[in-house]
Amino acid sequence: MDISLIEISLLLLAGVFGGIINTLAGGGSNLTMPALMVMGLPADVANATNRLGIFLQSLTAVAKFNQQDKLPKDDLSALLIPCIVGGLVGAVAAAWAPLWLLKPLLLGTMLSVAAFMLFWPSAIPDENSQAYKVSEKRSGFWGLFLAGVYGGFVQAGVGFLLLSVLAGSLRYDLVRANALKLLCSLGFTVVALAVFISQDLVNWEYGLILSVGFIVGAYLGVKLAIKAKPKTMKRAVFVLTLFACVAAYL
């Protein structure tokens, strides 16, 4: 497959901005998914190909957060297990779902999650707040499982769902919630990507080019997330949520 310079540039640019948005809040796939579909990829192939970039972006961001000592590690297995199990369920469903069902779901849930984030500011606690363990909040377990199902199925907007669980239910502050959000995303993306690869749905050329942009965006996004003040980050999350909602319906 011959890829033009314009296509390479579009994928790299979408990946950089998508990586920044995904790291700070969520919804970056609302840029990268349309970019892949513009290249002529069907929805199911675009959905699968996008996961390669998400995997490498999440790996980069988690390593960077951990390097800065911003990744909580006292409850990792309890956080990851429901996400991974849910991701397997969602990915298997996505691999077999009809295209007419995939497209609406790629754009779904964004507006309701945006309203949640915008009209319930207390959903995001202040810095250094005392977080709950998953065993102390069953709503956290089921929220992570459902986020895993959704993330395994379509990915787009799953960052908002994870933030609503990690910050809203388990009460992590925004920086730590973002770090854990990316770790959870990494967990179910590994499972989803394995399923999509087994079904031969990944376009490796487009996926690797997009991944370069995602990695750069993740690196820049972590630097912004750590340096920004909590109030600034909250506003940024709201703005990015609205932006992603608009992008989802274009």
The residue that leads in pLDDT, 151 or 111, is 151
Phi, psi (degrees; rounded to nearest 5) at 201: -105, -5
Query: 19, 214 in Cβ contact below 8 A?
Result: yes
Phi, psi (degrees; rounded to nearest 5) at 230: -55, -45
Confidence of residue 208 (pLDDT cuts 50, 70, 90): very high
Average confidence (pLDDT) over 21-41: 77
Confidence (pLDDT) at 195:
83
Please choose, from the candidates 62, 100, 92, 21, the residue with its C-alpha nearest in 3D space to the C-alpha of residue 186: 62
| Domain residue spans of the chain | 5-248
Q: How many helices (H) and strands (E) does the chain have?
A: 11, 0
Tokens describing residue 70 = 């911003």
d(Cα 51, Cα 91) in Å, to the nearest integer? 11
Say if residue 125's pLDDT is above 50.
Answer: no
DSSP structure class, residue 28: T
Place of tokens 């349309």: 34
Place of tokens 């996926």: 207
